[in-house]
Chain A
Amino acid sequence: MVSVKLVNLSKYFHNVKAVDNLNLEIKDGEFVALLGPSGCGKTTTLLMIAGIYKPTNGYIYFDNRLMNDVPPKDRNVGMVFQSYALYPHMSVFDNIAFPLKLKKRPKDEIRRKVKEVADLLGIGELLDRKPSQLSGGQQQRVALARALVKEPDIFLMDEPLSNLDAKLRIQMRAELKKMQKTFKITTIYVTHDQVEAMTMADRIAVLNKGVLQQYGSPDELYNRPKNIFVAGFIGSVPMNFIRGALKRTNGDYILEGLDYLFKIPRTYHDVLKDIEVGTEVILGVRPEHVDIGFGEYSGKVYVVEPLGRDQIIHIDIGGEIIRALAPGDYKVEEGKDIKFSFKEDKIHIFDKKSGEAYI
Chain B
Amino acid sequence: MRFSPKKFFVSNSFTRKLHKGYLYVFLLPSLGFIVVFFLIPVILTFLIGLTKMDYSFRWDWIGLGNYIYILRDKWAYKILGNTLFYVFTTLAFFNVGMALFISIATTHINDKIGSIFRSIWLLPRITPSTVYALLWLWAARGEANSLFNWLTSIFGLHPIDWKLTYPWLLVILVNGFVGTSFGMIIFTAALKSIPEDYIRAAKVDGASTLQIIRYVELPLIKWPLLFVTAYQTLSLLTSYEYILLVTDGGPGLYTTEVWALYSYHLAFAQYGGIVKFGYGAALATILVIIGLIMSVIYWKVFRFRELMVEPKIEV
Which residues of chain A have a CB within 8 Å of any CB of chain B?
47, 50-52, 71-73, 75, 77-79, 81-83, 85, 87-90, 98-99, 102-103, 131-132, 146, 150, 156
Cβ of A147 to closest chain B Cβ, rounded Å: 8
Q: Is the CB of A102 within 8 A of B204?
A: no
Q: B206 at interface (Cβ–Cβ under 8 A)? A: yes
CB-defined A-B contacts under 8 Å, sample of 17 = A52-B204, A72-B204, A73-B204, A75-B204, A81-B197, A83-B197, A85-B195, A85-B197, A87-B216, A89-B219, A90-B219, A98-B215, A99-B205, A102-B205, A102-B207, A102-B211, A150-B206
Cβ of A69 to closest chain B Cβ, rounded Å: 15
Q: Is the CB of B197 within 8 A of A88?
A: no
Chain A residue with minimal CB distance to B314? A88
Q: Is the CB of A103 within 8 A of B197?
A: no
Cβ of B111 to closest chain A Cβ, rounded Å: 14
Q: B40 at interface (Cβ–Cβ under 8 A)? A: no
Instruction: Give every chain A residue within 8 A of B216 (Cβ-Cβ).
Output: 87
Chain B residue with minimal CB distance to A158? B197
Complex CA gap A99/B215 in Å reads 12
Chain A residue with minimal CB distance to B212? A102
Complex CA gap A83/B222 in Å reads 22
Q: Is the CB of B206 within 8 A of A103?
A: yes
> Interface 1/0s, chain B 289-313, versus A by CB < 8 A?
0000000000000000000000001
Instruction: Give every chain A residue within 8 A of B314 (Cβ-Cβ).
Output: 88, 131-132
Instruction: Give every chain B residue within 8 A of A77 (Cβ-Cβ).
Output: 204
What is the total of A-B residue contacts with beta carbons within 8 Å? 66
Given known contacts A83-B195, A98-B215, A150-B205, A88 and B220 CB-to-CB distance under 8 angstroms: yes
Chain B residue with minimal CB distance to A149? B205
Complex CA gap A71/B216 in Å reads 19
Instruction: Give every chain A residue within 8 A of B207 (Cβ-Cβ).
Output: 73, 102
Instruction: Give every chain A residue within 8 A of B201 (Cβ-Cβ).
Output: 79, 81, 85, 146
Complex CA gap A150/B205 in Å reads 8
Q: B203 at interface (Cβ–Cβ under 8 A)? A: yes
Chain A residue with minimal CB distance to B310? A132
Q: Pick the 9 closest A-B CB pairs, nearest first.
A: A73-B206, A85-B197, A85-B201, A99-B205, A89-B219, A102-B206, A72-B203, A88-B314, A79-B204
Instruction: Give every chain A residue within 8 A of B198 (Cβ-Cβ).
Output: 85, 87
Instruction: Give every chain A residue within 8 A of B130 (Cβ-Cβ).
Output: none
Complex CA gap A72/B203 in Å reads 6
Cβ of A108 to closest chain B Cβ, rounded Å: 20
Q: Is the CB of B205 within 8 A of A89?
A: no
Q: B109 at interface (Cβ–Cβ under 8 A)? A: no
Cβ of A134 to closest chain B Cβ, rounded Å: 12
Task: Give me 7 other A-B pairs in contact (C-beta within 8 A), A73-B208, A88-B220 excluded.
Answer: A50-B200, A51-B203, A51-B204, A52-B200, A79-B204, A85-B201, A146-B201
Q: B315 at interface (Cβ–Cβ under 8 A)? A: yes
Cβ of A261 to closest chain B Cβ, rounded Å: 52
Q: Is the CB of A83 within 8 A of B203?
A: no
Complex CA gap A103/B208 in Å reads 11
